[in-house]
């Protein structure tokens, strides 16, 4: 605990340790799990999407992604606030990487069709907490929708 406080107070810009990377991965995974659970429907398809997104983003094996999602589910259940997770994202990711996190969240929100008003509000709240502008949040949403339309057209060909 003291080491963590000293690290925050005296950040030297050194490369984050593996533990810090794991904390970031858990924070992102917990945000994705929260988004998936927002509509009270968290099924295997959403879980698999989250595993795929995390594996791609953090270059994880399937087993590591599975463990990360399981850990994230527990972390999300224990935490009633987003701040703990969003704070890590802000501390450790550059602005363009934070926009990519919003894209990942939109992918989860659209995985079961159109996002509910609650999911939309959650993404708006997370974007604000990680300092992603409304414009960037909207642009991320458009990119996800375009990607989904291209994928749908390719499946129907």
Predicted confidence at residue 148, as pLDDT, reads: 84
Query: How far is 80 from 76, CA to CA, in rounded Å?
Result: 7
Fold of domain 18-156: TerB-like (1.10.3680)
pLDDT computed for residue 1 by the predictor: 39
* pLDDT-derived band at 152, boundaries 50, 70, 90: low
- Token pair belonging to 109: 């929100």
- With cut-offs at 50, 70 and 90, classify the pLDDT of residue 21: low
Q: Which of 7-21, 50-64, 141-155 has the lowest mean pLDDT?
A: 7-21
Cβ–Cβ contacts within 10 Å for residue 116, how many?
Answer: 15
Q: Find the DSSP H helices in the chain.
A: 2-9, 18-37, 44-58, 62-78, 83-92, 95-109, 117-129, 134-156
- Looking at residue 41, what is its pLDDT? 78
**pLDDT number for residue 151:** 60
Is a pLDDT exceeding 90 seen at residue 95?
Answer: yes
Q: Look up tokens 């463990």; give the residue.
A: 67
Can you give the pTM of this predicted structure? 0.82
Judged against a pLDDT cut of 70, whether residue 18 lies above it is answered with no
| End-to-end CA separation in angstroms for the chain | 56
Q: What is the pLDDT of residues 46-90, one digit of tens each?
A: 999 999 999 999 999 999 999 999 999 999 888 878 999 999 999
Backbone angles phi, psi at 12, to 5 degrees: -100, 0
Residues 57 and 110: their CA atoms lie apart, in Å, by 18
- The helices-and-strands tally (H runs, E runs) of the chain is 8, 0
């Amino acid at each position: 605990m003291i080491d963590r406080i000293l690290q925050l107070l005296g950040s030297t810009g050194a490369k984050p340790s593996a533990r810090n990377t794991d904390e970031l991965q858990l924070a992102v995974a917990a945000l994705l799990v929260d988004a998936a659970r927002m509509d009270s429907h968290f099924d295997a398809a959403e879980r698999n999407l989250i595993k795929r997104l995390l594996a791609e983003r953090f270059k994880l094996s399937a087993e590591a992604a599975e463990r990360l999602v399981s850990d994230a589910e527990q972390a999300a259940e224990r935490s009633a606030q987003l701040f703990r997770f969003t704070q890590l994202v802000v501390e450790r990711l550059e602005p363009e990487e934070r926009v990519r996190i919003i894209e990942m969240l939109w992918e989860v929100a659209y995985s079961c069709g159109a996002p509910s008003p609650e999911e939309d509000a959650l993404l708006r709240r997370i974007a604000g907490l990680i300092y992603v502008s409304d414009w960037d949040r909207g642009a991320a949403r458009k990119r996800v929708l375009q990607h989904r339309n291209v994928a749908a057209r390719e499946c129907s060909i």
